Amino acid sequence: ESGWLAVRMGVGFDESSVDHGLVAYWDFDRVENSRIPDRSGNDRPGILHGDSLTDAGGGRSGTGADRSVRFTGAGWMEVPSAGSGLLDSATAHDAITLSVWIRGDDSQPSNDSLFWAGSESGGGGIRSLNAHVPWSDQVIYWDTAGCCEPGIHRVSVLEPESSHWRGRWNHYAFVKRGDTKEIWLNGGLLHSAVNTADLTPIRSLFIGSSGPGQGGYHGWVDDVALWDSALDPAALGALARGASPL
């Protein structure tokens, strides 16, 4: 189909696996009493509030028992283990990768957040991590360690091609390696810039919102994975081609 980046394409099959300091991985294939299991083996489940998983076949591969979470703007997934140091190793290394598949709904672009981490519980304190994919201005924003100064906290890029964030599955990766921040789309480097602020402590983490009942994402999300390292281009390309994070 037209609209994909020419460099790489996410096509929904398992080519291989990627494991370079995997911290947590939620595939959204099942929910148990609102708990989304962590497939990494580190026992860091997410707690789903207000929204639900799709039926089988509703995941990014479109096959078998693959499911995803459908965010309606009213729900979110909280990761309680963020409060006990889930990402302390990433902060210590000043390096992180968040990989995610998204399919925005017809309301995109809208003023919502794909993920958010705060330096305090409940999403408060410093904006430790945040991404808008995109904001209503069709700009993708990737913030760390505060907001919203270019060169310090924020990298951003205009993405006017709506098929890259609405109506079909796309793979995104948000990377920080020291002072370098990157946004990857379907295995290709979409944008890179310098941000000098080191990662700040993370004591709350939300997928699909900017906190409880705030800035809820509109669309489908699948296969969210976090690493306490900056994955290299080969690993990011493999994820976009359908490799398992495990």
Q: How confident is the model at residue 14 (pLDDT cuts 50, 70, 90)?
A: very low
H or E segment to which residue 236 belongs: helix 233-240
pLDDT digits (tens, 9 = 90+) for 226-236: 999 999 999 99
The mean pLDDT of 5-18, rounded to a whole number, is 39
Task: Please check whether residue 199 is in contact with residue 91, taking contact to mean a CB–CB distance below 8 angstroms.
Answer: yes
pLDDT digits (tens, 9 = 90+) for 85-127: 999 999 999 999 999 999 999 999 999 999 999 999 999 999 9
Q: What is the pLDDT of residue 22?
A: 97
Q: How confident is the model at residue 193 (pLDDT cuts 50, 70, 90)?
A: very high
* pTM for the model: 0.92
d(CA 128, CA 79): 14
Q: How confident is the model at residue 15 (pLDDT cuts 50, 70, 90)?
A: very low
E strands within 27-88?
A: 35-36, 46-49, 52-53, 69-72, 76-78
